[in-house]
Amino acid sequence: GAVVSQHPSWVICKSGTSVKIECRSLDFQATTMFWYRQFPKQSLMLMATSNEGSKATYEQGVEKDKFLINHASLTLSTLTVTSAHPEDSSFYICSARDYEKLFFGSGTQLSVL
Amino acid sequence: KNEVEQSPQNLTAQEGEFITINCSYSVGISALHWLQQHPGGGIVSLFMLSSGKKKHGRLIATINIQEKHSSLHITASHPRDSAVYICAVRSPRGGADGLTFGKGTHLIIQP
Protein backbone atom coordinates (compact mmCIF):
# COMPACT_ATOMS: atom_id res chain seq x y z
CA GLY A 1 0.00 0.00 0.00
CA ALA A 2 0.91 3.63 -0.23
CA VAL A 3 3.48 4.86 2.24
CA VAL A 4 4.49 8.29 3.43
CA SER A 5 8.02 8.50 4.77
CA GLN A 6 9.02 11.26 7.17
CA HIS A 7 12.51 12.14 8.39
CA PRO A 8 13.98 12.67 10.85
CA SER A 9 12.02 10.87 13.54
CA TRP A 10 13.41 13.11 16.22
CA VAL A 11 15.72 16.06 16.38
CA ILE A 12 17.26 18.07 19.18
CA CYS A 13 18.62 21.47 18.31
CA LYS A 14 19.82 24.65 19.92
CA SER A 15 17.65 27.72 20.05
CA GLY A 16 18.13 29.88 16.97
CA THR A 17 18.97 27.10 14.56
CA SER A 18 16.79 25.93 11.68
CA VAL A 19 15.48 22.41 11.30
CA LYS A 20 14.26 20.77 8.09
CA ILE A 21 11.74 17.93 8.12
CA GLU A 22 11.11 15.89 4.97
CA CYS A 23 7.95 14.12 3.95
CA ARG A 24 7.97 11.79 0.94
CA SER A 25 5.21 9.83 -0.73
CA LEU A 26 6.91 6.59 -1.75
CA ASP A 27 4.64 4.98 -4.30
CA PHE A 28 2.11 7.60 -5.26
CA GLN A 29 2.16 11.20 -6.36
CA ALA A 30 0.87 13.73 -3.90
CA THR A 31 0.05 17.13 -5.32
CA THR A 32 -1.09 18.12 -1.87
CA MET A 33 0.38 17.27 1.49
CA PHE A 34 -0.61 18.49 4.91
CA TRP A 35 1.53 19.43 7.90
CA TYR A 36 0.24 19.06 11.43
CA ARG A 37 1.47 19.88 14.87
CA GLN A 38 0.49 17.90 17.93
CA PHE A 39 0.99 18.75 21.57
CA PRO A 40 0.88 15.99 24.20
CA LYS A 41 -2.59 14.55 24.64
CA GLN A 42 -4.04 17.03 22.15
CA SER A 43 -5.65 16.74 18.74
CA LEU A 44 -3.73 17.07 15.53
CA MET A 45 -3.66 20.73 14.53
CA LEU A 46 -3.38 21.54 10.85
CA MET A 47 -0.60 24.03 10.23
CA ALA A 48 -0.47 24.32 6.48
CA THR A 49 -1.29 22.77 3.14
CA SER A 50 1.66 22.08 0.90
CA ASN A 51 0.86 22.43 -2.80
CA GLU A 52 3.19 21.05 -5.45
CA GLY A 53 4.54 23.83 -7.63
CA SER A 54 2.86 26.65 -5.76
CA LYS A 55 2.89 28.43 -2.44
CA ALA A 56 1.73 26.71 0.68
CA THR A 57 -1.43 27.90 2.36
CA TYR A 58 -1.21 28.44 6.08
CA GLU A 59 -3.85 28.14 8.75
CA GLN A 60 -4.74 31.19 10.77
CA GLY A 61 -2.17 31.92 13.42
CA VAL A 62 0.65 29.96 11.79
CA GLU A 63 3.63 32.16 10.86
CA LYS A 64 4.63 31.42 7.29
CA ASP A 65 8.06 32.98 7.80
CA LYS A 66 8.65 30.72 10.78
CA PHE A 67 7.45 27.51 9.16
CA LEU A 68 8.73 27.42 5.59
CA ILE A 69 7.15 24.83 3.33
CA ASN A 70 8.51 23.72 0.00
CA HIS A 71 6.80 21.21 -2.28
CA ALA A 72 9.14 21.09 -5.24
CA SER A 73 8.12 17.69 -6.58
CA LEU A 74 5.12 15.41 -6.59
CA THR A 75 6.69 13.18 -3.96
CA LEU A 76 8.48 15.53 -1.57
CA SER A 77 7.39 18.26 0.78
CA THR A 78 9.67 19.86 3.36
CA LEU A 79 8.90 21.86 6.46
CA THR A 80 11.67 24.09 7.80
CA VAL A 81 11.33 25.50 11.27
CA THR A 82 13.44 28.64 11.11
CA SER A 83 15.20 30.17 14.09
CA ALA A 84 13.68 27.55 16.35
CA HIS A 85 12.80 28.44 19.91
CA PRO A 86 11.82 26.21 22.82
CA GLU A 87 8.14 26.98 22.25
CA ASP A 88 8.47 25.33 18.81
CA SER A 89 9.18 22.03 20.54
CA SER A 90 6.41 19.73 19.47
CA PHE A 91 5.50 16.68 17.39
CA TYR A 92 5.19 17.43 13.69
CA ILE A 93 3.53 15.02 11.27
CA CYS A 94 2.70 15.12 7.60
CA SER A 95 0.00 13.41 5.61
CA ALA A 96 -1.05 12.88 2.03
CA ARG A 97 -4.19 11.63 0.44
CA ASP A 98 -4.31 8.99 -2.26
CA TYR A 99 -7.84 9.22 -3.56
CA GLU A 100 -9.95 8.86 -0.38
CA LYS A 101 -7.29 7.15 1.71
CA LEU A 102 -5.19 9.02 4.23
CA PHE A 103 -1.53 8.24 4.74
CA PHE A 104 0.56 9.74 7.50
CA GLY A 105 4.26 10.02 8.05
CA SER A 106 5.80 8.60 11.20
CA GLY A 107 6.19 12.06 12.69
CA THR A 108 9.10 14.14 13.95
CA GLN A 109 9.61 14.99 17.60
CA LEU A 110 11.39 18.35 17.75
CA SER A 111 13.06 19.46 20.95
CA VAL A 112 14.60 22.92 21.01
CA LEU A 113 17.02 23.57 23.85
CA LYS B 1 -18.21 22.32 22.47
CA ASN B 2 -15.86 20.36 20.24
CA GLU B 3 -17.35 19.25 16.97
CA VAL B 4 -15.89 15.77 17.46
CA GLU B 5 -16.14 14.15 20.87
CA GLN B 6 -14.59 10.83 21.75
CA SER B 7 -15.25 8.66 24.74
CA PRO B 8 -13.72 7.40 26.83
CA GLN B 9 -10.59 9.56 26.90
CA ASN B 10 -8.64 6.79 28.59
CA LEU B 11 -9.34 3.08 28.75
CA THR B 12 -7.40 0.30 30.43
CA ALA B 13 -8.53 -3.28 29.90
CA GLN B 14 -7.27 -6.81 30.24
CA GLU B 15 -6.09 -8.86 27.30
CA GLY B 16 -8.97 -10.60 25.60
CA GLU B 17 -11.62 -8.04 26.50
CA PHE B 18 -14.00 -6.57 23.95
CA ILE B 19 -13.26 -2.87 23.50
CA THR B 20 -15.59 -0.13 22.33
CA ILE B 21 -14.53 3.43 21.57
CA ASN B 22 -17.16 6.00 20.69
CA CYS B 23 -17.15 9.09 18.51
CA SER B 24 -19.93 11.66 18.30
CA TYR B 25 -19.94 14.62 15.97
CA SER B 26 -22.16 17.63 15.50
CA VAL B 27 -21.70 18.55 11.84
CA GLY B 28 -22.82 17.03 8.58
CA ILE B 29 -20.07 14.83 7.26
CA SER B 30 -19.13 13.06 4.05
CA ALA B 31 -16.89 10.50 5.74
CA LEU B 32 -15.42 9.48 9.06
CA HIS B 33 -11.93 8.10 9.62
CA TRP B 34 -10.64 5.99 12.46
CA LEU B 35 -6.91 6.40 13.00
CA GLN B 36 -4.45 4.57 15.23
CA GLN B 37 -1.49 6.43 16.68
CA HIS B 38 1.24 4.27 18.16
CA PRO B 39 3.43 5.34 21.09
CA GLY B 40 6.17 6.41 18.69
CA GLY B 41 3.75 8.85 17.09
CA GLY B 42 3.14 7.33 13.68
CA ILE B 43 -0.47 7.27 12.53
CA VAL B 44 -2.19 4.55 10.55
CA SER B 45 -5.59 4.89 8.96
CA LEU B 46 -7.78 2.00 10.07
CA PHE B 47 -11.10 2.74 8.41
CA MET B 48 -12.93 5.26 6.32
CA LEU B 49 -16.70 5.09 6.68
CA SER B 50 -19.58 6.92 5.11
CA SER B 51 -22.28 4.45 6.12
CA GLY B 52 -22.87 1.08 7.73
CA LYS B 53 -20.13 -1.11 9.02
CA LYS B 54 -16.62 -2.26 8.08
CA LYS B 55 -14.53 -5.09 9.47
CA HIS B 56 -10.83 -5.74 9.25
CA GLY B 57 -9.44 -8.59 11.28
CA ARG B 58 -10.35 -7.99 14.92
CA LEU B 59 -11.44 -4.43 14.28
CA ILE B 60 -14.99 -3.39 13.48
CA ALA B 61 -16.17 0.15 12.78
CA THR B 62 -19.78 1.25 12.57
CA ILE B 63 -21.42 4.54 11.81
CA ASN B 64 -24.95 5.84 12.27
CA ILE B 65 -25.33 8.93 10.12
CA GLN B 66 -28.72 9.88 11.58
CA GLU B 67 -27.40 9.68 15.13
CA LYS B 68 -24.07 11.32 14.17
CA HIS B 69 -22.22 8.58 15.98
CA SER B 70 -19.55 6.02 15.21
CA SER B 71 -18.00 3.22 17.21
CA LEU B 72 -14.76 1.33 16.90
CA HIS B 73 -14.74 -2.17 18.37
CA ILE B 74 -11.77 -4.40 19.06
CA THR B 75 -12.47 -8.08 19.66
CA ALA B 76 -10.07 -10.32 21.62
CA SER B 77 -7.92 -7.33 22.53
CA HIS B 78 -4.16 -7.77 22.75
CA PRO B 79 -1.39 -5.66 24.32
CA ARG B 80 -0.24 -4.68 20.83
CA ASP B 81 -3.58 -2.89 20.41
CA SER B 82 -2.39 -0.36 22.99
CA ALA B 83 -2.39 2.98 21.19
CA VAL B 84 -4.31 6.21 20.82
CA TYR B 85 -7.36 5.87 18.60
CA ILE B 86 -8.44 9.04 16.85
CA CYS B 87 -11.74 9.78 15.16
CA ALA B 88 -11.65 12.34 12.36
CA VAL B 89 -14.61 13.58 10.33
CA ARG B 90 -14.54 15.00 6.86
CA SER B 91 -16.88 17.92 6.39
CA PRO B 92 -17.06 21.31 4.69
CA ARG B 93 -16.40 22.84 8.11
CA GLY B 94 -13.10 21.06 8.44
CA GLY B 95 -9.78 22.72 7.77
CA ALA B 96 -8.07 22.89 4.42
CA ASP B 97 -7.61 19.15 4.75
CA GLY B 98 -11.38 18.85 5.25
CA LEU B 99 -10.86 17.13 8.58
CA THR B 100 -11.82 17.77 12.18
CA PHE B 101 -10.04 15.53 14.67
CA GLY B 102 -11.13 14.22 18.02
CA LYS B 103 -8.68 14.31 20.91
CA GLY B 104 -8.24 10.58 20.85
CA THR B 105 -8.83 7.67 23.18
CA HIS B 106 -5.77 6.34 24.94
CA LEU B 107 -6.13 2.56 25.13
CA ILE B 108 -3.94 0.30 27.25
CA ILE B 109 -4.38 -3.45 27.08
CA GLN B 110 -2.71 -5.22 29.97
CA PRO B 111 -1.46 -8.81 29.58
Put simply, whether B103 touches A (Cβ < 8 Å) is yes
In chain B, residues 16-45 whose CB comes closer than 8 Å to chain A = 31, 33, 35, 40-45
B95 vs B54, higher pLDDT: B54
Give the Cα separation of B36 and A100 in Å (integer).
17
pLDDT at B5: 95
CB A86 within 8 A of CB A19: no
Average pLDDT, stretch A67-85?
93
Q: How confident is the model at residue B1 (pLDDT cuts 50, 70, 90)?
A: low
- B41 pLDDT more than 90: no
pLDDT (tens digit, 9 = 90+) per residue, B50-89? Answer: 999 999 999 999 999 999 999 999 999 999 999 999 999 9
- Cβ distance of A34 and B97 shorter than 8 Å: yes
The pLDDT tens digits for A83-100 are: 999 999 999 999 998 877
What is the reported pLDDT for A1? 60
Residues 6+ apart with CB under 8 A from B18: B73, B74, B75, B76, B77
Mean pLDDT of chain A: 92
State which amino acid sits at residue A74: L
**Among B residues 54-93, those touching chain A with beta carbons less than 8 Å apart:** 86, 88
Start-to-end CA distance of chain B, whole Å, equals: 36
| Beta-carbon-side half-sphere exposure of residue A107 (alpha carbons within 13 Å) | 18
For the stretch A9-19, pLDDT in tens is 999 999 999 99
Residue A67 C-alpha, separation from nearest chain B C-alpha, in angstroms: 17
Tell me phi and psi for residue A83, to 5 degrees. 45, 60
Q: How confident is the model at residue B104 (pLDDT cuts 50, 70, 90)?
A: very high
Q: What is the mean pLDDT of residues A58-64?
A: 93
Please, which pLDDT band fits residue B106 given cuts at 50, 70 and 90? Answer: very high
pLDDT score for A30:
86
pLDDT for B57:
97
How many whole angstroms separate alpha carbon B81 and alpha carbon A34? 27
Residues 6 or more apart whose CB falls under 8 angstroms from that of B64 comprise B70
Given an 8 Å threshold on Cβ–Cβ distance, is B45 in contact with A102? yes
